Amino acid sequence: METAVIKTPLGYAQITGDVNGISKIEIVDEATTITTVFPDVLKEAVLQLQDYFEGKRTSFSFLMNLSGTEFQKRVWQELLDIPYGKTCSYLELSKKLGDVKAIRAVAAANGKNPLWIVIPCHRVIGSDGSLTGYAGGIWRKKWLIDHENPVKQESLF
């Protein structure tokens, strides 16, 4: 496994992967050494994340190597279907997965998302439109939703 750290507007992103794909992208708060020379297997992910933060990218196409339960993978796949600039409630997500009662399991799988930003768990909000539950902190969730706001003049929240 190779690892790289890049600075983003939201803190440091640590990217982990190998020839089979990127397996983890996580935000880390503590100051760390920023990678200056990137391993070949991570270069595309690094470039795509940088493009995202510069407003040049709305989706990701690098190879992903996800590890999780079948249910988690189904939830993550549904998250990938939420369009850039749009949000979805936990209830709507549960309905799409075919079980309204699975809302807590959906929220738990959302929280286990291994690919920060790439699998857009930040686009999932409460049924009442509130910003709820985000492992990286609500302020980051708000920043990401505002960053993806196609209008850009005013905050969605």
| Residues 21-40: tens digit of each pLDDT | 999 999 987 767 899 999 99
Q: Average pLDDT of the chain?
A: 91
Residue 29 pLDDT: 76
pLDDT at site 46? 97
Q: Which residue numbers are catalytic?
A: 121
Kindly state the percentage of the chain with pLDDT values over 90: 80
**Tens digits of residue pLDDT in 40-90:** 999 999 999 999 999 999 999 999 999 999 999 999 999 999 999 999 999
Res 18 pLDDT > 70: yes
Dihedral sign of CA atoms 88, 94, 100, 105 in order? negative
Q: C-alpha dihedral over 146, 150, 152, 153, to 10 degrees?
A: -120
pTM of the full predicted structure? 0.90
pLDDT-above-70 percentage for the chain? 95
Exposure string for 90-111, b = 16+ CB within 10 A, e = fewer = bebbbeebeeeebbeebbebbe
User: Dihedral sign, CA of 5, 138, 65, 60?
Assistant: negative
> Residue 8: which pLDDT band, with cuts at 50, 70 and 90?
very high
